Amino acid sequence: MTAPGVQLSLDGIRKSFPGKGGPVPVLDGLSFDIYERDFVSIIGPSGCGKTTVFNVIAGLLEPDSGTMTFRGEVVPGLQGRVGYMMQKDLLFPWRTVLQNVMLGLEMKGVDRAQALDTAREYLSTFGLSGFENAYPKMLSGGMRQRTALIRTLIMDPDILLLDEPFSALDYQTRLYLEGVLLDAVETFHKTVVLVTHDIDEAVALSKRVVVLGNRPTKVKSVHKIGLDARSPIGARSDPRFSDYFQTLCGELEIQTRQRAA
């Protein structure tokens, strides 16, 4: 496999938050690369600033120092270029499913009739036809998260930023949505950055896993995942799956021991 080009490169990102006794450093010179059409998972001990990394990439937080380079061009953040998805579905309760899906297109200023067509098409692709006029309150958790995924994909972002998108769902729904996500990423040729606390999910979905250390956070290691199966269930039954799983668990476990000592 030839090495694909670097799409986004983080270099020496530092970020601290004001605390009681002066600033608390959270990110301490974070550097890693994301390739074109990559699927990178970011895992790390809880409270290590995974979500902060995510917000910096999304352009919602400004790093104290360090640079981000997007396709060879230094950028302050990727506002408008990323699709953003969180554990909370973040659907607008006062908008119907259709209106929620169209949100990103509205922000981009896409013509309304065209946006309607696109939204209907996506909804039928993802099996949500017939729910166009339902309000999010009326849907199940899995359907809500699927709607959120459609809303993210329909904007045609360069990078999908997913912050534990499935962790609030039950296991079957999660497996199903992981499959939907992988298919969608294949079809639409997307780059994905997935923040998760779930090693199992990280191994099953990713091409590469970035392990973060304790706060103040640096990149501890980057693992390439070479599973052939491109389905969440197939990947989990791959004989090498448990090796990767053990390795990553080991990385995180060492840190918990250090913290305990």
Partner 1 sequence: MATHTLKTSEALKTSKNLKSSSPASTRPTRQPAARPRVKPSAFARGADTTLGRGIIQLLAVAVFFLAWEGAVRAGWLTEFLVGAPSGIWRVFLASMLDGSLPVDTWYTVIEAIIGFLIGTLVGSLAGLGLWYSAFVARLVEPFIVAINSVPKIALAPIVILWFGTGFVSKVALAVSLTALVALIAAYQAARDADPDLQALLASMGASKNRIFKSVIVPSTLPAIIGMFRINIGFALVGAVVGEFISSQRGLGHLIYSASSLYDLNTVWVGLFVLMFVGFLLYHVIDFAERRILPWRQITTAGQVQV
Residue 107 CB, nearest approach to partner 1 (Å): 4
Residue 74 CB, nearest approach to partner 1 (Å): 18
Which CB atom, from 97 or from 209, has the smaller least distance to partner 1?
97
C-alpha span between 113 and 184 (Å, rounded): 24
C-alpha span between 185 and 173 (Å, rounded): 18
How would you classify the pairing of strands 65-70 and 191-195? Answer: unpaired
Which CB atom, from 18 or from 21, has the smaller least distance to partner 1?
18
Residue 16 CB, nearest approach to partner 1 (Å): 20
Residue 67 CB, nearest approach to partner 1 (Å): 20
Which CB atom, from 103 or from 235, has the smaller least distance to partner 1?
103
Which CB atom, from 58 or from 182, has the smaller least distance to partner 1?
58
Backbone angles phi, psi at 47, to 5 degrees: 80, 15
Neighbour tally for 20: CB within 10 Å:
5
What is the torsion angle, in degrees rounded to the nearest 10, for the CA atoms of residue 237, residue 239, residue 240 and residue 245?
A: 60
> Tokens 């780059």 identify what position?
191
Q: Which residues of this protein are in contact with partner 1, per CB under 8 A?
A: 55, 58-60, 79-80, 82, 84, 86, 88, 90, 92-95, 103-104, 107-108, 135, 137-138, 155, 161
